[in-house]
Structure 1
Amino acid sequence: MSARSQLLLSSLLLTLSAPLWAAKRVDLDYQVRFLPESDQAEVSLLLEKGEAVRSLRFDLGNKGYYSDFKASGSWTQDDPAHGTWTPGNGKASLSYKVRVSHPRGDGRFDARMTPDWALLRGDDLVPSARLDLVDGTELVSRLEFDLPKGWQAVETGWPRVGKNRFRIDNPERLFDRPTGWVLAGKLGSRRATLGSTDVTVSAPVGEDMRRMDILTLLTFVWPHAQEVFPREPDKLLIVGAKDPMWRGGLSAPNSFFMHSARPLVSENGTSSLVHELVHVLSRIKDTDRSDWISEGIAEYYAIELVRRAGGMSDDRYEAIRKQLRQWSGKVDSLRGERASGAVTARAVLLLQDLDKEIRLRTDGKHSMDDVTRGLMRLNKASTKDFVEISENIMGGASDVLDTKLLR
């Protein structure tokens, strides 16, 4: 074959292998300006070509956090909890204000703004919405912050593409919105690369966050987490603050919050830090009154990963199991919409026993890790799914799972 013929053949093959169409990319820019004097953020959605979006129907909730809507095209509210934006043609915009601080009713907050900083979830800046997008169109979303005078920095769990600008890209969603934790203001941050993940631990200055302690524990635990969870985020943001923020941990996409007074390893031997890390890495969601699965797995690995990293002796492990038995002694069922602490403790014991059974039945070839990876492939996991995956791995019915606890 001549050189010319080879070139023509190569060109033909490239043409045949190319996609028949490519999505038309349209920019969607989120702009956020914090207003500490009114405990609000002003949010603008700027759409490059309004005709690419037929409508966006927002779920505004029932707490009255959103106000002052202004839009090109049209904005309609059928009721206080829902609003629909129809952008129209050409460049289009929607702006509104959202209250930042969220009291929990016990004097604590799970989002808060002060004169010096704001700590909140991006999910609240841009509420969830049903997107009606013109076929063949793809939105390219970016998030940019205009910070008040004196505020130095902003952190999110998304890749930074400018000083205060981030690229929002979630392949699982048609409508890319800036989910996950956001922290802005006068901040102190520490960074490290663990595996293939850029990790940032950040908190407002003066909030007593033990940034280096957190990075040190994660450095020991990370290789063992990699063995269990096959997908690592490109970026992980850990934020924190002290009272009156809620005294616990709260996970979100690519990020989680830890109260700065929480110990890295509690007196009962578990780690709230690793618990929230497992939620972020596993992304296991449950259904059919099976909250015990996601909470049980997070707590199971909060113990197990520290143990595998050499941070726990066999004697200490058995002492923890004894405490779990005492705590969960009155639990007669794991099923429910929300797993209590006692239910989670009983779930951990079940998972530890199941791990032993799987290893014994498969001559050490499989373990609870394989069950976890199977659950990660599901959109949502039920108790029935959990039992089926476990029994498929061990090749038969499970004695551990044949219990009224799962009914």
Structure 2
Amino acid sequence: MFIGIRLRLAACLLLLSTPGLAAKKVDLDYQLRFLPASAEAEVQLTLAKGELVQSVKFYLPKAEHYVAFKADGQWTEDGRGHATWTPASGKASLSYRVRINQLEPSGAYSALITADWALLRGDDLVPAADVVLYDKVELVSRLQVELPKGWKSVESGWPRIGPNRFRIDNPAQSFDRPTGWILAGKMGTRRTRLGETDVTIAAPIGSGMRRMDTLTLLTFVWPHAQAVFPRDPRKLLVVGAGDPMWRGALSGPNSLFMHAERPLVSENGTSSLIHELVHVLSGIRDTDASDWISEGIAEYYAIELLRRAGGMSEERYQQVRKKLTLWSSKVNNLRGEHATGAVTARAVVLLQELDLEIRQRSAGKHSLDDVAQGLMRMDRVNTESFIELSESLIGKPSKVLDSKLLRLPKAKPAA
């Protein structure tokens, strides 16, 4: 009897291990070619086995930026910002051109291509899409970049697997896109390895980017950032450029942008570099008018990590706190889809108070760090789940979070 059971078990294990039941891997190759003369990029997606992909539905919020679509298979546009590609069998490609330059209302560019370089987000090269795959099919995505004559190299936040070639792998997505910041052209770089992460600082030559200053600050705060946000991306890319690029800072997958003239540490004691680094490492995403959480956490640790690294005395920290309190004194509610600077400042003050409350009421066993690590594990976080998580550490209702600041404003009655 036992021999029969063992034989049947062995047969089952053999069946489960056969290649026929394993996931079928299908190559998805992105080819990117920059066209400085027309301020465009040419993008081509190639599936090695188109018959294993049922459809790819693209979202085109800026449809005018994408032109000259050519597809192997069926390509349909609904006129409402959606387009669907049904690939042909065998090797199937979709190609189009993308307008790169994006001029903001301020007169600065959030994406730009010149005769010597291009700086943009890969999210705009390949728009977001929903892919429908046949059973047990997995896409293996790579990006190959063709550079214009005279351009030196290209950098992205994804691991390099060859000359101007990158492996795109996001386990959370079935349709891997080359998201995050991309810089190509005549550039200067500085590189190091921090923990398990390869860090690259890159900017166009002559842009005034303080590459070594940036690398030094990251080196100081990295161990403290890792202690709070125990996530080790394989690569982190920091890109920068001067005018006419947008004079701000913005994170993306495995990457972030900072204007070359933006200070690493501002006069009010915060750091845009560390703020965006926290966004990259934490991956915290909010919903339900709770942008104060992700922005507040990023700004809180932009100050706190500097402090822990020895870059801020206790006296300076208290001065920073006073300035934040004064700046946000007129804020009476934190809820909203996009937190303003004053709202973010008020959120930082609240988080500082919450950290003290958690430490005191848990007898030093917990702190806001534990809240931040809990938020990292959530797909989306809102104000209610933030309060629930915080109070689970305190063991009772929070006095700090029992505040009108966190209640949704009442809708105004219709006229």
Q: Pick the TM interval, shorter chain.
A: over 0.9
2:152 matched to which residue of 1? 152
> Tell me, what secondary structure is at the counterpart of 2:262?
coil
Change (3 A) 1:232 1:85: same
Offset of 1:15 from its aligned partner?
3.9
CA distances 1:301-356 after superposition (whole Å, capped 9, x unpaired): 00000000000001100000110011000000000111000000000000001001
Map residues 299-378 of structure 1 onto 2, 5 A cutoff: 299-378=299-378
> What displacement does 1:232 show?
1.5
Partner of 1:5: none
Classify the secondary structure of the residue corresponding to 1:79.
coil
Does 2:56 align with 1:83?
no
Q: Which residue of 1 aligns with 2:220?
A: 220
Partner SS, residue 132 of structure 1: strand
What residue ranges of structure 1 are gaps of 5+ in the alignment?
Answer: 1-7
Alpha-carbon distance between aligned partners in 1 of 2:48 and 2:17, rounded to the nearest angstrom = 27
So what's the TM-score if we normalise by structure 2? Answer: 0.94
Q: 1:3 — aligned with what?
A: none
Query: For residues 18-57 of structure 1, what are the structure 2 equivalents within 5 Å?
Result: 18=17, 21-57=21-57
**Unmatched segments (≥5 aa) in structure 2:** 1-6, 408-415
Inter-partner Cα distance in structure 1 for 2:140 and 2:345:
43
Separation in 2 of the partners of 1:163 and 1:340? 42
Kindly provide the amino acid, as one letter, of the partner of residue 31 in structure 1.
Q
Q: CA deviation digits over 1:49-108, x for unaligned, max 9?
A: 110111111111135100000111111111162211111211111100000111112111
Q: Percent identity?
A: 66
Is the 1:122–1:181 Cα contact (8 Å) retained in structure 2? Answer: yes
1:129 paired to 2:143: no
Separation in 2 of the partners of 1:16 and 1:26? 23
CA drift at 1:9: 12
Q: Deviations over 1:100-131 (max 9, x none)?
A: 11111211111100000000001111101111
**CA distance in structure 1 between the partners assigned to 2:15 and 2:26 by the alignment:** 27
Query: Which residue type is aligned with residue 105 of structure 2?
Result: G
Q: SS of the residue aligned with 1:238?
A: strand
What amino acid is aligned across from residue 48 of structure 1 in structure 2? A
- Residue aligned with 1:64, SS: helix
Paired with 2:284 and 2:314, the residues of 1 have a C-alpha distance of 28
Name 2:163's counterpart in structure 1: 163
User: Structure 1: how far apart are the matches of 2:357 and 2:221?
Assistant: 25
In 2, are the aligned partners of 1:62 and 1:80 still within 8 Å (CA)? no
Q: Write the mapping of 1:191-202 to structure 2, written as runs, cut at 5 A.
A: 191-202=191-202
Kindly provide the amino acid, as one letter, of the partner of residue 234 in structure 2: D
Q: Say if 1:250 and 1:258, in contact at 8 Å, map to a contact too.
A: yes
Instruction: Give the deviation of 1:363 after TM superposition.
Output: 1.3
Q: How far does residue 21 in structure 1 lie from its aligned partner after superposition?
A: 2.1
Q: CA RMSD in A?
A: 1.6
CA distance in structure 2 between the aligned counterparts of 1:297 and 1:47, rounded to whole angstroms: 40
Structure 1: which amino acid aligns with 2:74? S
Kept in 2, the 8 Å contact 1:194–1:219? The answer is yes
- Is structure 2 residue 288 aligned with structure 1 residue 288? yes
| Higher alpha-carbon deviation: 208-217 or 81-90 | 81-90
- The answer on whether the counterparts of 1:231 and 1:281 sit within 8 Å (CA) in structure 2 is yes
Whether the 8 Å contact between 1:56 and 1:84 is mirrored in structure 2 is yes
How far is 1:168 from its partner? 0.6
Q: Which secondary structure does the structure 1 equivalent of 2:265 belong to?
A: coil
- Hey, what's the Cα distance between the residues in 2 that align with 1:50 and 1:403? 55
TM-score with structure 1 setting the length: 0.96
Are residues 1:61 and 2:61 paired?
yes
CA deviation map 1:200-236 (0-9, x unaligned): 0000101111010011001110000111001121100
Correspondence for 2:412: none
Measured against aligned partners, the alpha-carbon deviations of 1:174-218 in whole angstroms (never above 9, x if no partner) come to 101111111000010000100110000000101111010011001
Aligned to 2:267: 267
2:395 equivalent in structure 1: 395
Aligned length: 400
Match of 2:255 in 1: 255
Matched, 1:102 2:102: yes
* 1:131-173 residue CA offsets vs partner (Å, 9 max, x unmatched): 1111111111110001000001000010111111001111000
